[in-house]
């Protein structure tokens, strides 16, 4: 090689190295979506985070658990890779050393010099005299601020949160409950109805960016169940009301939604992904069964319009024949067998957490002119009222034969039963009966932000009139609130469970106040009055 060629090679090499130094900036790592814990057992607890960076390469993430908030003592630790296959989320099933089980511990993540915030969590206690849970449902990001999460995270008396579904919503801007989204800078991301895996991941990321949601997750373990909007409205096993042919395969959409759910949520994945029912034993005080009522076994909802003839007459006999079909399923036999698994301890509260209301509910008489002023999709109220039918066929009212089997199973185990439900956006306190037998009390939690019945009627019926009319129409309904957003707490002791419905007075501002709407003391085997 002559001198000129050598100098050209040196110059080229210098330019190449300089280009590489410029084109490979230092990787920046952040924990933008917070941390979370969930699905505690007596020995383990799920820890979750998500890593954001300016690189698509895998990132090694370390987790640390300490018995002190300053992390001077690390009681256990480990590491996991975050990569594109799971959207850079990290989830570990952390085993807590024996002497720290059932006690509060602190956890955090770190990667390449960056630290996450610090969270608190615990494994389930083996011996406990009282235990308090908070219950949430229907948290629609565009509808308003998650002040309910902020309120609960500030209440140090709460041990554990339960989210009964509709943790997120699938709609685009301009659709359901997005009226205030632009003013609040809470427009849905992506601005489309979510269908693909990328869509669901982006929507989860938006929700996890909320500071109040992050605060709740970092302050306590959260047990999470999905309902329909984590997939799409009124989903059932093989399809959904809000899934159209031009949106592709529903089975693919369902798989996309559930894959993103398991990536982004602090939950332990079962062997069969759709069979997401679980049991949590909190000492001898509570046997909590978190049920799945949406996509593992649910039959298609009965559609009133299918039973209206061309001349406008309602075919009542055909309707009830379909409704009362013994084969119609909401839980399925496998889940009913799971419910039978019980220690039959008279000291234990059996708590059944599910997505949809168990009680039968009918609407009072509402004048036709008011119904005519509502959106077209609510016109079915006319038929419901005229024929005196249950109004929500997406709930247990649409599956009466299996409801009877479910309640007889529960009754055979214990009379110390409480049922909790979400989905409706309103507060409910019901007595649950099967025939002449009282089974237990049901408490329906209000929504975090989604609009309730009073808003659905656009102020056309005074709130107190609507609530009182519902109470008069439904003898097993003992109290309701159809106005307020918020959450539910239940404080358990051996002899009594004390429920409080907490109202948030404002979801359109970060300035809010709370109040107790109703306090209910539940005694084993005794009806609500």
User: Residue 300: pLDDT above 90?
Assistant: yes
Weakest-pLDDT range from 19-33, 81-95, 108-122, 357-371: 19-33
Mean pLDDT across 143-167:
98
80 sits in the region (left: phi over 0; alpha: psi -120 to 50; else beta) called beta
Which string of b and e fits 411-420 if b means at least 16 CB within 10 Å?
A: bebbebbbbb
Dihedral of alpha carbons 319, 321, 323, 327, sign:
negative
Q: What percent of the chain has pLDDT over 70?
A: 95
pLDDT for 22 beyond 60: no
- Please say if the pLDDT value at position 6 is more than 90: no
Q: Which two tokens stand for residue 364?
A: 């009072």
Residue 200: partners with Cβ closer than 8 Å, 6 or more residues away: 194, 256, 257, 259, 260, 261
Rounded mean pLDDT, 319-338:
98
Dist CA 196 CA 396 (whole Å): 30
pLDDT at res. 82: 98
Q: What is the pLDDT of residue 468?
A: 97
Residue 210 neighbours by CB under 8 Å, 6+ apart: 141, 146, 149
Superfamily (CATH H level) for 124-522: Alkaline phosphatase D (PhoD) (3.60.21.70)
Tokens found for residue 18: 């300089």
Q: How far does CA 347 lie from the centroid of its chain?
A: 28
Q: Span 335-348, mean pLDDT?
A: 89
Domain at 28-123, CATH homologous superfamily:
Purple acid phosphatase-like, N-terminal (2.60.40.380)
Q: Facing residues of 425 across strands?
A: none
DSSP E strands: which ranges in 112-248? 114-115, 119-121, 131-136, 160-163, 222-224
Q: Which two tokens stand for residue 120?
A: 């608190």
The backbone torsions φ and ψ at residue 150, rounded to the nearest 5 degrees and listed phi first, read -60, -45
Six-digit token string for 167: 């943790």
Structural domain spans, the chain: 28-123, 124-522
Angle 60-62-67 (CA atoms, 0-180°, nearest 5)?
A: 175
Three-class SS state of 16: helix
- Non-local CB neighbours of 43 within 8 Å, separated by 6+ positions: 95, 96, 101, 123
Q: Do domains 28-123 and 124-522 have the same CATH topology?
A: no
pLDDT (0 to 100) of residue 16: 43
41 contacts: CB under 8 Å, gap ≥ 6: 123, 124, 280
User: Is the CB of residue 484 less than 8 Å from the CB of residue 138?
Assistant: no
Residue 18 has what pLDDT?
A: 44
| pLDDT score recorded for residue 378 | 84
Mean confidence (pLDDT) of the chain:
94
Total-model pTM: 0.94
Residue 387 CB contacts under 8 Å (≥ 6 apart), including other chains? 314, 316
- Residue 113 corresponds to which tokens in the numbers above? 């010099």
Contact present, 96 and 125 (Cβ < 8 Å): no
pLDDT of residue 347: 85
Strands 349-353 and 417-421, bridge-based pairing: parallel
pLDDT band at 8 (very low <50, low <70, confident <90, very high): very low
In the prediction, which pLDDT does 10 show? 43
């Amino acid at each position: 090689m002559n001198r000129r060629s050598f100098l050209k090679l040196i110059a080229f090499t210098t330019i190449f190295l300089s280009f590489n130094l410029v084109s490979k900036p230092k990787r920046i790592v952040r924990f933008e979506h917070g941390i979370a814990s969930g699905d505690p057992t007596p020995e383990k607890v799920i820890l979750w985070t998500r890593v954001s960076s300016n690189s698509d390469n895998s990132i090694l993430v370390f987790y640390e658990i300490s018995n002190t908030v300053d992390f001077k003592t690390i009681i256990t630790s480990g590491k996991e890779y975050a990569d594109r296959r799971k959207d850079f989320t990290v989830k570990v099933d952390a085993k807590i050393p024996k002497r720290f089980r059932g006690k509060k511990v602190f956890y955090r993540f770190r990667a390449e010099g960056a630290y996450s915030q610090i969270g608190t969590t615990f494994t389930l206690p083996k011996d406990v005299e009282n235990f308090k849970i908070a219950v949430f449902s229907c948290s629609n990001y565009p509808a308003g601020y998650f002040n309910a999460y902020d309120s609960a995270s500030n209440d140090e008396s709460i041990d554990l949160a339960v989210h009964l579904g509709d943790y997120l919503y699938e709609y685009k801007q301009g659709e359901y409950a997005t009226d205030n989204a632009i003013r609040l800078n809470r427009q849905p991301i992506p601005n489309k109805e979510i269908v693909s895996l990328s869509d669901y991941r982006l929507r989860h990321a938006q929700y996890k960016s909320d500071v109040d949601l992050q605060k709740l997750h970092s302050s306590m373990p959260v047990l999470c169940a999905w309902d329909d909007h984590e997939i799409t409205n009124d989903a059932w096993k093989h399809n959904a009301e809000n899934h159209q042919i031009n949106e592709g395969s529903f089975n693919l959409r369902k798989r996309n939604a559930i894959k993103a759910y398991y990536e982004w949520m602090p939950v332990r994945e079962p062997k069969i992904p759709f069979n997401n029912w679980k049991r949590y034993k909190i000492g001898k005080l509570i046997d909590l069964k978190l049920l799945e009522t949406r996509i593992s076994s649910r039959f298609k909802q009965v559609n009133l319009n299918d039973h209206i003839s061309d001349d406008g007459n309602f075919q009542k006999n055909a309707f009830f024949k379909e409704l009362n079909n013994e084969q119609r399923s909401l839980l399925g036999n496998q889940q009913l067998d799971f419910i039978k698994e019980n220690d039959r301890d008279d000291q234990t509260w059996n708590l059944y957490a599910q997505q949809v209301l168990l009680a039968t509910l009918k609407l009072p008489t509402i004048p036709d002119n008011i119904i005519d002023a509502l959106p077209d999709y609510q016109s079915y109220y006319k038929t419901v009222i005229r024929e005196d039918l249950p109004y929500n066929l997406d709930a247990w009212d649409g599956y009466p034969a299996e409801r009877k089997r479910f309640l007889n199973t529960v009754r055979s185990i214990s009379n110390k039963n409480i049922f909790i439900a979400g989905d409706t956006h309103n507060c409910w306190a019901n007595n649950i009966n099967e025939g002449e037998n009282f089974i237990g009390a049901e408490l329906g939690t209000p929504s975090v932000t989604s609009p309730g019945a009073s808003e659905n009627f656009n102020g056309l019926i005074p709130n107190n009139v609507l609530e009182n009319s519902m109470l008069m129409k439904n003898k097993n309904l003992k109290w309701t609130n159809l106005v307020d957003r918020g959450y539910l707490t239940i404080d358990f002791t051996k002899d009594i469970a004390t429920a409080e419905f907490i109202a948030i007075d404002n979801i359109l501002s970060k300035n809010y106040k709370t109040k107790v709407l109703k306090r209910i003391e539940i005694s084993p085997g005794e009806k609500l009055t």
